Amino acid sequence: MASASAITFLRSIRAVSAQYRGSVGQLMGQAVASGPGCASVCADMMGRGAARNVAANRIPIMKKNPLGRTGMEVSQLCLGTMTFGTQTDEADAHAQIDAALAAGVNFLDTAEMYPVNPISAETVGDSEAIIGNWNARTGRRGDYILATKHSGEGMQAVRDGAPITAETIPATIEGSLRRLKTDYIDLYQFHWPNRGSYMFRKNWQYDPGGNDRAEVLDNMAGCLEALKAQVDKGNIRAFGLSNESAWGTAQWLRLAEETGGPRVASIQNEYSLLCRLYDTDLAELSVYEDVGLLAFSPLATGLLTGKYQDGAVPDASRKTLNPELGGRHTDRVYPAVAAYLEIARRHGLDPVHMALAWCHTRPFMASAILGATNLAQLEHVLAGADLTLSQEVLEDIDAAHRAHPMPY
């Protein structure tokens, strides 16, 4: 279960993070590495109780992974922000950013269309604006890697559903920079391809046809040229994809090499114990081409916490707003969740920590994106960030996957 001492530490360090403008996560790592003598270093800044937790080596250490070939490294957990402005108010959102950075998270992900639950034209951009207000208030923009996204074709709340083109990119980036109150974006992602995607349960009846190949490739080449201009201006540092396929990613890589445009650094696709579409062709591409996965919904919209078992619908949960959980609510999913919950119980593990620790074992994983509705949920996750699963647990998970493949 979650370490009470770790959660206590996170809360105590959050209280001082607004005053301390350096990297608290780095201080934590240095303190743990220093051994018991670190208490005297930490005491004045964090309070004696928090320092004792560090000295006892009970604070999770946040591993970092390469972000493609960019030279940047991102923490194995990324703070997702898609509820900032709807389910999560600004005060709680800012507290989450404080706590995440204090725990060694150096990676935040957002999008121009956020928040969700629900998506509306009136709230488009609000999540970016909340992050921007935190940047302006704290002056700590340089302490983390910031990712945002350009919406794809069909999102009526943004540009009336216009596709991503060389013409839409400059103004869209400028809008994000303005809301985020920053002069650069570390990772700029295309939220989904114009030609469509098999994500979000569309894989069951996926038809890859309907687009002219030459037009698709011409659009890609034009977008890469526009992105290169943004890199040259210093507006963005790197380029990533989301909800993308192996063919699409391969084309972006090939065209970048041919044109000198920015190389794809990452793919943000859904991935969890319950959703493993990434495990074959995309996995191979990721490993050989150094294009890491940024896994969204690693807890399967909360299903893997167990909170929706036996028909339960907790107050203010995502299921109160979206009863079908985006197509994940099926007859098959709850027995699958039960199998993973039983593995966690049998091995004395918190199911949330187990699900995330399993993600970190995958050879293509760059970071798992954590979306917490409130600070307490985030603290629970952060307390188990350093869990390593035994071979026995991994074998049990493999058996459960074989018994419950593709439950939605």
DSSP helix/strand/coil, 50: helix
* 264 DSSP β-pair partners: 239
**Residue 157: its H or E element:** none
Catalytic residue among 20, 114, 188, 206: 114
Q: Residue 133 and residue 139: Cα distance in Å, rounded?
A: 10
Assigned token pair, 199: 């994500």
**Residue 165: its H or E element:** none
Is 198 among the catalytic positions? no
Q: What are the E-state strand segments in 243-364?
A: 264-270, 292-296
Q: At what angle do helices 24-34 and 39-46 cross, to 10 degrees?
A: 150
326: buried, middle or exposed (CB in 10 Å: 19+, 13-18, 0-12)? middle
Neighbours of 388 (CB within 10 A): 8
Q: Residue 315 and residue 221: Cα distance in Å, rounded?
A: 47
Chain centroid offset of residue 200 CA: 16
- How many Cα atoms within 13 Å fall on the side-chain side of residue 59? 32
CB-based contact 347:358 (threshold 8 Å): no
Q: Residue 346 and residue 44: Cα distance in Å, rounded?
A: 41
Q: Residue 385 and residue 112: Cα distance in Å, rounded?
A: 28
Q: What are the helix (H) ranges across 139-245?
A: 168-180, 213-233
What is the longest distance spanned by two Cα atoms in the chain?
A: 66
Q: Residue 81 and residue 109: Cα distance in Å, rounded?
A: 6
**Which of the residues are catalytic?**
114
